[in-house]
Chain A
């Protein structure tokens, strides 16, 4: 299709106009946003340090949920909504989750039309498998690489609109900060490492699609590229964050020499059993406690039960037999063999829970807009739908649904009509940001001309140690307070340390925001004096009605303020 044809086709648009949108991050959520904007005739600039093939999205192996009921188990959208709300321990918004689950079947159809090859069942329909916390087999999947297959299809679809001039990709750019004035976002500053320069990009809306806050914990099961910096920086610029204390520990990860790697939930979905050994006998503790489906309880419950045993836990799939393993779990087989020298057809897999997904992130409303006007967030960096614990198969769904929702909201938003006023306002805004950009550029030049023996990497490692020690699966006030005090020390010195020339400038300028994001996370965990979903307090083991809502934390010049969103301002 030519540009003209695409423009003519974009009849969905309510407000075809000259808007330009800046999308930061080019994984599944970012690409979906850009494509959905282009379908509506709206131009976007899609920015990322590396190409989409490097996005963490390609690692999402499990699948994507939709109540298609292809397995004939009586599944329904209502059931999907119910499971998601229950899995999230009743603090996700009902309307939010209803939107997510009702749109899931259409999203699957959309993906098929883009060329995503789903695995089919014997009837030739999309096959669906069991994941934790589901009443029916609901997870659609593409062999062993669902995320990758979706990324490949979206890259190709983006290309259609790149050719038409509706999507412009920019690589080798890191997010630096938002261009924000009086609670409204006008664009973003990008940093180019090769030229060591800052560039301002003005836009009618900015959409953040930067993934989870992995780097707070050092190495996680996810990508090294997702570090949470963008959320941290925007937080310091006034954007509210939500539910930071809810961090999903995936129950089954295996230690390798390079990192902890994920053993897909599909291993338990296919019939893998968790156990520990006592007196030479196996104890199938999940089955003992919850019956035959015990191994497939939601992730928060499995991780918690594993932790409570205090024992070394193993996952046994040998009983499935070589044929099933080869057919259904080849990625688990290969990963264990390659990186841990383990033959899963003969041996049990030693597993431990490890940080995997962040239910918390930028607080967004039903439009996926943050507390800053014209600043949106989608995918894992946004907090929505998952409440206190996310169900497997719901993150890919949310990544796509959130991208579509943000694009629709941006399209439907009216622009200010008075052109004179707009021009004048624009000049004023650019003068304001001119000063801001100059100040930030000077900081970077100053960085380059200073030398420090105090390495940024050391402080980053310390952050990871604090977070892993003081914000484990089970927390208490004492350890959280200790972590906060330790972070205060590093926040204090981070404003005084000089440039660490051994690392990229990005690692230097990102440090204060990462430290403050870490502190916000610990503060949110300390404030929630109850146990719910992935947040487990040994000193407050019960769930409490006083906290039956999302936590919202905001920042103002060094002060952190936490409230609970009882009225559902962000999510209802």
Chain B
């Protein structure tokens, strides 16, 4: 099976395509396949040339850390949850397009944290929240900060103004736990989310944790 990867060396700016041949089982995830290509004594491209090992962000290999979000055959997804058997005869892998590329498939998602920091996105004075909020709080706190919701969002460009679904969920977590109903959080939510969201809901569909962002929005819009 042919695997085409959009690559980049850490010290250079230019991206380039490189092809590999994968001959293992199709019942493996794309993450597992990348591991197999990488962890041999030598790594060779389809032409038999010796090349640098493929860089991709990986920690858990089982859908718990969000590191391996990438564009697989045109579709943004976690590599560890996408199986080779479902991908046809050829696989193309690209880094997420809305973040600076560091190295091959490794991207810099620093903007997610920087934006949250910019608007003081944390609990001010803790207040116990009613039990009926717990299920949704639990769900929102499962966010991997993988960036898939930003990648598919038609409104998210570079994160300089519109911060995306993951920000809305964090706002919800804070608003339901802060002692004084936090006007600032509501203001930031309006400015950096509500004002820019065209409700395509692509974020809900792509989310590997299936976070019901719509529900966060409903609670914050109240």
Residues of A at the B interface (CB closer than 8 Å) are: 1, 50-51, 53-56, 58-59, 113-115, 117, 120, 124, 142-143, 145, 148-149, 152-153, 156-157, 159-160, 162-163, 169, 171-172, 193-196, 219, 223-225, 257-259, 261, 335, 338-339, 341, 455, 457-458, 461, 501-504
Q: Please report which residues of chain B, range 78-110, place their CB below 8 angstroms from some CB of chain A when the two chains form the complex.
A: 80-81, 102-103, 108-110
- Residue pair A152, B142 in contact (C-beta under 8 Å): yes
Is B27 part of the binding interface, using a Cβ–Cβ cutoff of 8 Å? Answer: yes
Q: Please report which residues of chain B, range 26-84, place their CB below 8 angstroms from some CB of chain A when the two chains form the complex.
A: 27-29, 31-32, 35, 38-43, 50-53, 55, 57-67, 80-81
Nearest neighbor of B128 in chain A, beta-carbon distance: A112
Residues of B at the A interface (CB closer than 8 Å) are: 10-11, 25, 27-29, 31-32, 35, 38-43, 50-53, 55, 57-67, 80-81, 102-103, 108-110, 113, 116-117, 120-124, 126, 131, 134, 137-138, 141-146, 170, 173-174, 177
Contact of B28 among A149, A162, A257 (CB under 8 A): A257
CB-CB < 8 A to A124: which residues of B? Answer: 131
Q: In the complex, A145→B109 CA distance in Å?
A: 23
CB-CB < 8 A to A53: which residues of B? Answer: 65-66, 144-146
Nearest neighbor of A158 in chain B, beta-carbon distance: B122
CB-CB < 8 A to B144: which residues of A? Answer: 53
| Closest Cβ–Cβ distance, residue A15 to chain B (whole Å) | 26
CB-CB < 8 A to A113: which residues of B? Answer: 126
| Closest Cβ–Cβ distance, residue B114 to chain A (whole Å) | 10
Given A115-B126, A257-B27, check contact A145 B120 (CB 8 Å): no
Contact of A117 among B35, B141, B143 (CB under 8 A): B141
CB-CB < 8 A to B145: which residues of A? Answer: 51, 53
Q: Could you tell me the dominant secondary structure of chain B's interface residues?
A: loop
Nearest neighbor of B63 in chain A, beta-carbon distance: A338
- Residue pair B42, A502 in contact (C-beta under 8 Å): yes
CB<8 Å pairs between A and B, sample of 5: A117-B137, A152-B141, A195-B11, A258-B35, A338-B63
Nearest neighbor of B26 in chain A, beta-carbon distance: A257
| Closest Cβ–Cβ distance, residue A282 to chain B (whole Å) | 28
Given A51-B109, A156-B123, A159-B117, check contact A455 B141 (CB 8 Å): no
Residue from the set B51, B58, B141 with the largest chain A CB neighbour count within 10 Å: B141
- Residue pair A223, B126 in contact (C-beta under 8 Å): no
- Residue pair B61, A259 in contact (C-beta under 8 Å): yes
- Residue pair A59, B28 in contact (C-beta under 8 Å): no
CB-CB < 8 A to A338: which residues of B? Answer: 63, 81
| Closest Cβ–Cβ distance, residue A334 to chain B (whole Å) | 9
Q: In the complex, A455→B53 CA distance in Å?
A: 11
Q: In the complex, A44→B86 CA distance in Å?
A: 46
Given A54-B59, A59-B64, A259-B61, check contact A159 B131 (CB 8 Å): no
Q: In the complex, A169→B27 CA distance in Å?
A: 39
